[in-house]
Amino acid sequence: MGWAGMRSFRQDRSVLQHRIKPGTTKRMLRFAVPYRKILAVFLPVVVLDAVVGAINPLILRAIIDKGISGKNTELIVGLAILAAVVAIVDAGLSLFERRVSALVGEGLIYDMRSKVFRHIQRMPLAFFTRTQTGALVSRLNNDVIGAQQAFTDLLSNVVGNFVSVIIVLILMFWLSWQITLVALILLPIFLIPARFVGRKLGAMTRESYNLNAEMNMVMNERFNVSGAMLVKLFGRPEAEATSFEDKAARVRDIGIAQALYARLFLVALTLTAALATAFAYGFGGVAAVHGEIQVGTLVALTAYLARLYQPLTQLSNVNLDVMTTLVSFERVFEVLDLVPMIDERPDPVELPRGPATIEFDHVDFAYPSAEDVSLASLEAVAQLEQAERVPVLHDVSFRIEPGQLVALVGPSGAGKTTISSLVPRLYDVTGGAVRIDGVDVRDASMASIQDVIGVVTQDPHLFHASLAENLRYARPEATDNELVAALVRAQIDHLVGALPDGLETVVGERGYRLSGGEKQRVALARLILKAPDVVVLDEATAHLDSESEAAVQEALRLTLAGRTSLVIAHRLSTVREADRLLVIEDGRIVEEGTHRELLARGGLYAELYRTQFADQEDDDAPTGGHGGPSAGGNGRAAAFTPDVPATPTP
């Protein structure tokens, strides 16, 4: 008696107003289908356990009324042995019941977590750009475990309690209907305040869950390297600590109140049972004195009373238990029902390996709306944005031949990153087509796209794992020698010797133990291990020192050699070496040609060159000409390449 009966009253009663989606119950039961054989044994065992639990009071009755009163020692010993055997059987059944319950419960957790995790991995990148990581992790942990606990508790408790109550009431009315009615009169006296306590506990539990979720989100954001750096740089650690402590203090206060209410519940339940027992002994004792009832019968009745109140209390909240179970499963199904915007066709095409072409054929694109890819509950908002999809690419067409290097240049927000994201099918076009070797990427298998196309982002991600594990993410079977060879080609082999544990050194969260240039070259080494036919690269060299930049440029030259490459260019050396430049503005290709051709035209690229690239001229490039020192303030910023005739200084 106690905490098991308390659980239902701690649940949030607001779920009773929740409308469950049609079909939720059937879907919930489908999760139990793999366990139908073991459940076919489990449920009868629960019933048998309830029946066995009801036998001992009758044995006690017989010992007192027939054994002791009749002074029959053999009967007393025999019945005592029988009571011991029944107790042992009851204990064995309880252990078996718990074992099966754990087997089914943990199996459900595994099945649901695996299914949700696999489903989330299929979701498009847009889903992760909108979703709160903490909310998503909560679905995989709290909601899945909540669904499992509710399901197994409901399965065992409702069946067991229902059978126990029916058997106990039948036996009690059979033994003495008068004393049974007197004992049951006290039950409503307990249930009415218990419901009040339950409402309080449910509201506090809901608030506690919300506050804990907020604290988890805060810790998740502030305890990573970027968040911690922001807090320190802006000098707000005290404000952060105060805000966190306010939430923690409220959780503390709720915990204290919950403990008091829980104790009140248990005291009330114990008191009610004690009063019922006192009433039973009072009425029954008088009846026994007058010979209307035997002493053994009275003892059996009071024993049954102890077995009656907890099951009745739990069954009084069976509707809440059922709704809590359904709501927990519904929150899991809510994620599973999100249809991935990007998925394979039933019979996908395998992209061939070897020299590849990239073709954009009149491509239009708009980023998906919130309702297409996300849930309000995963964004911590009351409702999703209702904004219409805004086109960001308009009629983009170009073709890259095998082995060519094409660079994208343009102002910030022009659409360069969007174009690069369409090649590996991180998003799907809204008009036109993107083709690799003549195959529309929407018709290709995801595995072949991932094999053929390699991507290095501007801020490459490294896991909190060893350098070797991060490299082998591209090719798990790679040997240490192959890892070192890739590092040599990426101009980062010296790093292994400098690290304390070599390849087994943990690089830290997001690779923060490495410099920006080292992270970029490790990412290139990972790409080299993957050996793709197509490379999509967003340069990050603008943030590197001159030594790192030179090493990265050499690594890029070796990595891109012979591969079809689409590069978002930030460095002058890249635009010079590119076979063709595509100048992007407002989601359109406004200029196309080589570095020399575009400079000669004097259009947008020439303007971008003067503002973005001119200060990157090599030290050995001609100085003077085109403005001389006065134009750029230091002579180097305005230095111009020999590709365009210099303008004489007046």
DSSP conformation letters of 293-323: S-HHHHHHHHHHHHHHHHHHHHHTTHHHHHH
- Domains: count for the chain: 2
Is 385 among the domain residues? Answer: no
| Tens of pLDDT, residues 606-648 | 888 887 666 665 443 433 333 333 233 333 222 223 333 333 3
Are residues 560 and 422 part of one domain?
A: yes
Are residues 323 and 416 part of one domain?
A: no
Is 601 among the domain residues? Answer: no
At 441 the pLDDT is: 95
Are residues 587 and 468 part of one domain?
A: yes
Of 123 and 517, more confident: 123
Its domain, for residue 459, covers 405-592
Are residues 90 and 9 part of one domain?
A: yes
Are residues 476 and 554 part of one domain?
A: yes
DSSP conformation letters of 381-416: SSS---PPP-EEEEEEEEEE-TT-EEEEE-STTSSH
| Tens of pLDDT, residues 205-260 | 667 766 776 777 777 777 766 777 677 677 677 887 888 888 888 888 888 887 78
Q: Cα(435)–Cα(529) distance, rounded to whole angstroms? A: 24
Lowest mean pLDDT among 26-30, 217-221, 435-439: 217-221
Tokens of residue 463, six digits: 């896991």
Is 103 among the domain residues? Answer: yes
Of 17 and 140, more confident: 140
Is 625 among the domain residues? Answer: no
Are residues 15 and 133 part of one domain?
A: yes
Q: Name the band, by pLDDT with cuts 50, 70 and 90, for residue 462.
A: confident
What CATH code is carried by the domain that includes residue 516? Answer: 3.40.50.300
What is the separation, in whole angstroms, between the first and last Cα of the chain?
Answer: 99
Q: Name the band, by pLDDT with cuts 50, 70 and 90, for residue 2.
A: very low
Residue that terminates a domain, selected from 336, 363, 396: 336
Residue 56, Cα to own-chain centre: how many angstroms?
49
Shortest CA distance to 93 belongs to which of 129, 133, 53, 125?
Answer: 53
Neighbours of 170 (CB within 10 A): 11
What CATH code is carried by the domain that includes residue 59? Answer: 1.20.1560.10
Tokens of residue 71, six digits: 């002074």
Is 71 among the domain residues? Answer: yes
Shortest CA distance to 159 belongs to which of 292, 273, 51?
Answer: 51
* Three-class HEC string of 420-465: HHHCCCCCCCCEEEEEECCEECCCECHHHHHHHEEEECCCCCCCCC
Question: Which residue is listed with tokens 């947008």?
Answer: 604
What is the rounded average pLDDT for all residues in the chain? 79
Are residues 37 and 164 part of one domain?
A: yes
Of 522 and 650, more confident: 522
Is 242 among the domain residues? Answer: yes
Residue pair 566/358 in contact (Cβ under 8 Å)? The answer is: yes
**195-199: Cβ within 8 A, 24+ apart:** 195/9, 197/9, 197/261, 197/264, 197/265, 197/268, 198/8, 198/9, 198/10, 198/11, 198/13, 198/317, 199/13
| Tens of pLDDT, residues 515-554 | 777 888 888 899 989 989 999 988 754 455 666 667 777 7
At 4 the pLDDT is: 46
Q: Name the band, by pLDDT with cuts 50, 70 and 90, for residue 316.
A: low
For residue 322, which amino acid is it? V
Longest dimension (CA), the chain: 133
Are residues 430 and 561 part of one domain?
A: yes
Average pLDDT, stretch 142-148?
76
Are residues 417 and 324 part of one domain?
A: no
Residue pair 108/352 in contact (Cβ under 8 Å)? The answer is: no
Are residues 414 and 318 part of one domain?
A: no
Are residues 317 and 457 part of one domain?
A: no
Are residues 445 and 546 part of one domain?
A: yes
Lowest mean pLDDT among 116-130, 183-197, 293-307: 183-197
Lowest mean pLDDT among 115-119, 314-318, 446-450: 314-318
Instruction: Report the run of H or E that residue 582 belongs to, with start and end.
Output: strand 580-585
Q: How far is CA 18 from CA 59, 151, 236, 328, in A?
A: 47, 18, 41, 12
Of 43 and 540, more confident: 43
At 648 the pLDDT is: 33
Reply yes or no on whether the pLDDT at 199 is more than 80.
no
Residue that terminates a domain, selected from 560, 592, 624: 592
Q: Cα(74)–Cα(61) distance, rounded to whole angstroms? A: 16
